[in-house]
């Protein structure tokens, strides 16, 4: 979904900035009023890959908890979390009718207290001193375009399945993590609803990646909805999402056919342009099916025409190898800079190629 040399958070800022430039003439000053008809949150077991982004109000306000996840272990994954939350939001809030705003209702102090050990802080939600089950809380707001009043919230709870006890390291199963996440969500929703009683909320439970993972991000495991007139989650929906690195043994075990198709892509690239081309990919699976494939090719080219020819060849190869249901992102880069991008949307949109001129 994103180029290897750009962090997802940077891309998000670029997208929102472009939306501001395109639409600023028609916007009113930002407001925090709770007006308009409340929406009924909707959730699904499958997260759609979409390139339809939200616009945002002026001035742009940063999240109250910005930077709290920049601990080194999860800094890369934070932006994936943001994009996933926006995909979940689109099931309830259409970009045609709503604006995106970083969270303004949950304070930094509240999140700091929630992440604390419960025996040392009366507001703490982590049951163990050394093992943080709750890693982070991220809030996104959605505003009515007409009057920029608050229409709803999406709250992402980042959870770690890795726990330590006297016998060593223990890893919670997905079902165990979902159950613990639901318990945490109940407490957090109650606190948020106390200050925002008529605001619909979507809760997203997110499993963080392996410690110090730099290639494979975490994944969403469950979403829940809280209607405007409710004080607790009324419906939960499990999500079966996973990411696999290509080529790898884990990816081959997950789907041998997709792995072989990826190998053919590498073979075609090296047959024409030489073995000095490095190529890795990340496959996103929903309910066992490949829904998105992001590939990064690293090569050194002195000629932009060579970049164009290589990108065109790979675009054709990818179209031949992978179903139209799979959203494809293909990034060409040198060691120093990005060179080209090819994107094929899975929603019937037109594929496109962009070659960097600088």
| Domain presence at residue 2 | no
Beta strands in 117-259 (DSSP E): 134-144, 150-159, 162-165, 168-171, 201-207, 219-226, 235-238, 241-246
pLDDT at 342 over 60: yes
What's the average model confidence in pLDDT over 143-164?
93
* pLDDT band for position 11 (cuts 50, 70, 90): very low
Among candidates 271, 290, 274, which has minimal Cα distance to 282? 290
Q: What is the pLDDT of residue 53?
A: 85
| Domain presence at residue 3 | no
Weakest-pLDDT range from 107-116, 159-168, 219-228? 159-168
Residues 189 and 335 in one domain: no
- What is the residue-averaged pLDDT of the chain? 84
pLDDT at 51 over 80: no
Q: What is the pLDDT of residue 170?
A: 86
Residues 312 and 176 in one domain: no
pLDDT at 71 over 60: no
Residues 288 and 182 in one domain: no
- Other beta carbons within 10 angstroms of residue 48's beta carbon come to 16
CATH number reported for the structural domain that contains residue 343 in this entry: 3.30.300.190
Residues 127 and 198 in one domain: yes
* Maximum pairwise Cα distance, the chain: 64
**Omega prior to 247 cis, within 30 of 0:** yes
Q: What is the pLDDT of residue 273?
A: 82
Q: What is the pLDDT of residue 300?
A: 78
Q: What is the pLDDT of residue 270?
A: 87
**Which range has highest mean pLDDT (70-84, 228-242, 274-288)?**
228-242
Residues 234 and 249 in one domain: no
Q: With pLDDT > 70 as the criterion, what percentage of the chain qualifies?
A: 82
Please say which residue of 186, 220, 239 terminates a domain. Answer: 239
Residues 43 and 93 in one domain: yes
Report CA Rg, the chain. 21
pLDDT at 70 over 70: no
Please give the structure tokens belonging to residue 7: 């962090």
Cα–Cα distance for residue pair 111/68, rounded to 1 Å = 9
Residues 264 and 197 in one domain: no
Please say which residue of 216, 239, 262 terminates a domain. Answer: 239
Q: What is the pLDDT of residue 40?
A: 64
Residues 139 and 12 in one domain: yes
Residues 120 and 248 in one domain: no
pLDDT at 289 over 80: yes
Residue ranges of alpha helices (H) inside 196-276 are 249-254, 256-273
Residue that wins the pLDDT comparison between 51 and 257 = 257
Q: What is the pLDDT of residue 47?
A: 45
Please say which residue of 239, 268, 285 terminates a domain. Answer: 239
CATH number reported for the structural domain that contains residue 87 in this entry: 3.10.570.10
* pLDDT band for position 301 (cuts 50, 70, 90): confident
Total domain count for the chain?
2
Cα–Cα distance for residue pair 147/28, rounded to 1 Å = 7
| Domain presence at residue 297 | yes
Q: What's 136's DSSP letter?
A: E
Weakest-pLDDT range from 98-112, 137-151, 274-288? 274-288
Q: What is the pLDDT of residue 32?
A: 43
pLDDT at 130 over 90: no
pLDDT at 78 over 50: yes
Q: Are 137 and 188 in contact (CB under 8 A)?
A: yes
Residues 178 and 308 in one domain: no
Residues 207 and 231 in one domain: yes
Q: What is the pLDDT of residue 36?
A: 53
pLDDT at 34 over 90: no
- The pTM score is 0.81
Q: What is the pLDDT of residue 46?
A: 46
Residues 195 and 262 in one domain: no
Residue that wins the pLDDT comparison between 44 and 235 = 235
What's the average model confidence in pLDDT over 139-152?
95
pLDDT at 24 over 80: no
| Domain presence at residue 202 | yes
| Domain presence at residue 1 | no
Segments forming the whole domain that contains residue 320? 243-355
Q: With pLDDT > 90 as the criterion, what percentage of the chain qualifies?
A: 62
């Amino acid at each position: 979904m994103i180029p290897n040399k750009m962090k997802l958070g940077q891309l998000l800022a670029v997208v929102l900035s472009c939306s501001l430039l395109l639409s600023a003439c028609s916007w009113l000053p930002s407001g925090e009023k709770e007006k308009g008809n409340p929406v009924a949150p909707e959730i699904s077991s499958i997260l759609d890959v979409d390139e339809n982004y939200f616009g945002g109000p002026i001035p742009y306000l940063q999240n109250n908890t910005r930077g709290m996840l920049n601990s080194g272990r999860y800094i890369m994954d934070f932006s994936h979390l943001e994009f996933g939350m926006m995909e979940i939001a689109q099931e309830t809030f259409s970009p045609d009718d709503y604006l995106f705003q970083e969270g303004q209702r949950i304070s930094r102090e509240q999140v700091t207290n929630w992440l604390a050990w419960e025996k040392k802080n009366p507001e703490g939600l982590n049951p163990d001193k050394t093992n943080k089950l709750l890693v982070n809380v991220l809030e996104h707001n959605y505003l009515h375009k007409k009057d920029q009043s608050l229409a709803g919230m999406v709250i992402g709870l980042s959870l770690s399945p890795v726990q330590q006890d006297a016998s060593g390291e223990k890893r919670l199963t997905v079902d165990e993590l979902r159950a613990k996440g639901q318990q945490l969500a109940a407490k957090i929703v109650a606190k948020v609803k106390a200050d925002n009683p008529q605001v619909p909320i979507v809760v997203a439970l997110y499993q963080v990646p392996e410690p110090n993972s730099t290639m494979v991000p975490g994944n969403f495991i469950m979403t829940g909805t809280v209607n405007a007139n409710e004080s607790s989650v009324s419906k939960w929906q499990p999500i079966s999402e996973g990411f696999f690195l290509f080529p790898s043994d884990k990816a081959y075990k997950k789907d041998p056919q997709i792995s072989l198709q990826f190998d053919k892509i590498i073979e075609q690239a090296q047959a024409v342009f030489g073995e000095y081309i490095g190529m890795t990919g990340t496959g996103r699976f929903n309910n066992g099916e490949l829904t998105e494939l992001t590939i990064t090719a690293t090569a050194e080219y002195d000629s932009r025409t060579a970049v164009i020819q290589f990108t065109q060849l790979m675009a054709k190869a990818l179209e031949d190898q992978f179903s139209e249901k799979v959203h494809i992102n293909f990034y060409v880069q040198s060691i120093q800079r990005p060179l080209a991008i090819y994107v094929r949307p899975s929603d019937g949109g037109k594929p496109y190629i962009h070659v960097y001129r600088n």
